[in-house]
Structure 1
Amino acid sequence: MHNNLSRIFVTGASGFIGSYLHKIISQSGYDVICIYNVHAINNSTPSIKCNLQHESLYDQFIKFKPDTIIHCAGLNPSALIKQDDSMFYQFNRDATLNLANQFLKYCESNQNKNKKKFLNLSTYEIYGNIKDLNGFNESSSTNPLNAYADSKAQAVNEIEQLVSNSVDFINVICTNNYGPGQSNDKLIPVVFNKLIKNQKIIIKGDGSSQRTWTFVKDTCEGIIQALKNGKHKRYHLSANNQISVIGVIKAIHDILKSQNFVATDSARLTWHEANNNPIFKIDSSWSEKELNWTAKTPFSMGLKHTLEYLKKQRDE
């Protein structure tokens, strides 16, 4: 990273992407301070407890003088906790804009020769169902299909309206991420646990819904490139693979079968309810050139790494 990005505040550093990103930038020798609301990442990392929806970090900005904010914190849909739509707007829109505006206030009142950066991490679900096979590009309009995606889309659109000579506001749009350390309620860990227990896997719709799967290490490397090379723009990070839910399940089953972890010739599936099987897809070709980044991990390789991690976790 450039020297003017030496002190970095990271929100959501105890989460899936945030924890991986925190590890990479800490090992690179940069000053990292984590912002948390519920769980601090560890005792050795400087941390600040703050409710981003309501509290101001301005005094902490004055004290620690961060050059960069990486905003990974947010509320994702989960089967593990009860959620209502208002929670998505509170965590994903209101908290993001409060943080961005407080950082803008700090940057404009403490200007120096180095331009600061605020990076907001978001999801390709903000665009909704694809309109053509090429997917959405960085200038596409948002068209979210649910409250979660709408809350993220509103944050992205509002941040793009913030203009300052002292700070670049960057939106990084990700696809489905996967890898070691992902929450147990996400597709790959769920399928793994169901298969090794020979339990039925519940499929919503007909399983043809397609997603893009990007390995978490590749995404984090893309975020770092966006900090190095990004300007006041929107950037896409994608492995550019389109795999259906059924395809993911089959791939997991085949790997476990080859390793004698499962004995059945196919996964046991049960169909839950019909849905419209949306296809989410983004075109990252422009961003790859701008950021000098590309996803390096094939899905088959990333999936094997992930399953090895899940097997070790199971044995502990």
Structure 2
Amino acid sequence: MKILVTGGFGFIGSALIRKIIRETKYEVLNIDSITNVASPEAIEDCAKSGRYNFARIDICDKDKLLKAFKKFKPDAVMHLAAESHVDRSIKNPYRFIFTNIIGTFNMLEVSTKYINIEKNIKKFKFLHVSTDEVFGSLKKNEKIFTEKNKYFPNSPYSASKASSDHLVRAWNKTYGLPTVTTYCSNNYGPWQNPEKLIPTIISNALKKNTIPIYGKGNNVRDWIYVDDHISGLLLALNEGKVGQNYNIGSNSQISNIELANKICKILDKRLNNKSPHNKLIKFVKDRPGHDFRYAISAKKIKKNLNFSPKFNFNKGLNSTVDWYIENSKWLLSKHKL
């Protein structure tokens, strides 16, 4: 199988490519524009494989996309490329609207043209990777999101992703493009850019800087180890039913302040500092429209595709903290605070 992956230098995209190259016989074309949060070094070993290909293309450039499709001739697309940081979407929504909506539109248009040209492709599939944030915010004791929940995006980022999801559905229903959409909870693991919460906490702690936590830290997030998410994506690609949506999560809810304290305790054990790292935690002004809680049910993908996460949260978090300690030079080089 030949898979075209967009956003392969991103955190999730690079984990996906590593798994494909190391554990399958698939050939990959990585399409990435290499933004300032890209990490090409995360797949340096994969680049040595004869099954890995790369093209520096912005998904907003439709002509270059079509040329790449015609040359590579993919059997499937895994669309991960997106602007994904809520804070940046509030400060600069334009890039999120342009990349996440227009970029996805281009991917759908090019994919549709491609399968109409390449008549011999029998089982082409377009996997669109979305987020649980499109469903909005949950109250403390409210039932967790299923694939049947209505959309209530509250940030420019989640609104742009919701818009792209609707486009994917429309191209499936109107043009017959074989699509599958997945929604994931918060990912964590190695090689994540420190603009995200867990590496932000670790990098600030290692630098002995203040660890900023929004509000009182009571906001709750549902976490999944990135390797488990990747396994779910490949299941959805290979076995998912066309036109269906699947939540990919591991039922690991924790408040931001509890998470920060948990990471600090792990660092205390690993680094033997005289002063506890949690003394660095400082509550800062909450961001506008901060959703209180996200949590998703993965019952559908577990039942229909036999998905089963391998990492419980404590195991995954300890492994992640250890990785960042061992790779602190990389982490701190990426940390701009």
CA-to-aligned-CA distance 1:255-306 (integer Å, 9 cap, x gap)? 1222344333443322222465511111111122122102221111111111
CA distance in 2, matches of 1:215, 1:127: 21
**Native 8 Å contact 2:136 2:291 kept in 1:** no
- Indicate yes or no: 2:258 matched with 1:268: no
Matched position secondary structure for 1:203: strand
CA distance in 1, matches of 2:300, 2:90: 38
Matched position secondary structure for 1:218: helix
Aligned to 1:251: 262
2:257 partner amino acid: I
Q: 2:229 aligns with which of 199, 219, 242?
A: 219
Q: 1:195 aligns with which of 200, 205, 230?
A: 205
CA distance in 1, matches of 2:291, 2:151: 18
Q: 1:55 aligns with which of 53, 58, 62?
A: 62
Residue 29 of structure 1 deviates from its aligned partner by: 1.2
- Indicate yes or no: 2:138 matched with 1:134: no
TM-score by length of 2: 0.85
Residue 117 of structure 1 deviates from its aligned partner by: 0.5
Residue 250 of structure 1 deviates from its aligned partner by: 1.1
1:185 partner amino acid: E
CA-to-aligned-CA distance 1:225-244 (integer Å, 9 cap, x gap)? 00111122111000111100
- Indicate yes or no: 2:60 matched with 1:65: no
Structure 1 runs not aligned, ≥5 long: 1-5
- Indicate yes or no: 2:3 matched with 1:8: yes
1:245 partner amino acid: N
1:51 partner amino acid: D
2:78 partner amino acid: I
TM-score by length of 1: 0.91
Aligned residues: 311
CA distance in 1, matches of 2:317, 2:207: 19
**Native 8 Å contact 1:123 1:175 kept in 2:** yes
- Indicate yes or no: 2:172 matched with 1:176: no
Q: 1:284 aligns with which of 265, 286, 298?
A: 298
Residue 83 of structure 1 deviates from its aligned partner by: 4.9
CA distance in 2, matches of 1:166, 1:84: 34
Matched position secondary structure for 1:108: helix
Change in CA separation of 1:262 and 1:79 when aligned onto 2, cut-off 3 Å: farther
Change in CA separation of 1:167 and 1:52 when aligned onto 2, cut-off 3 Å: same
Residue 205 of structure 1 deviates from its aligned partner by: 1.0
The equivalences for 1:297-316 within 5 A come to 297-314=311-328
Which structure's residues are more often helix, by fraction?
A: 2
Change in CA separation of 1:251 and 1:93 when aligned onto 2, cut-off 3 Å: same
CA distance in 2, matches of 1:115, 1:134: 36
Residue 315 of structure 1 deviates from its aligned partner by: 5.8
Aligned to 1:123: 131
Aligned to 2:163: 154
1:264 partner amino acid: S
CA distance in 1, matches of 2:67, 2:270: 54
Matched position secondary structure for 2:178: strand
Structure 2 runs not aligned, ≥5 long: 331-337
**Native 8 Å contact 1:10 1:70 kept in 2:** yes
CA distance in 2, matches of 1:217, 1:157: 27
CA-to-aligned-CA distance 1:9-66 (integer Å, 9 cap, x gap)? 0111111010110011122111111112236665543112222113232233222211
Aligned to 2:335: none
CA distance in 1, matches of 2:236, 2:180: 8
Change in CA separation of 1:81 and 1:102 when aligned onto 2, cut-off 3 Å: closer
Matched position secondary structure for 2:171: coil
RMSD over aligned Cα, in angstroms? 2.3
CA distance in 2, matches of 1:49, 1:271: 40
Identity of aligned residues (%): 29
**Native 8 Å contact 1:205 1:277 kept in 2:** no
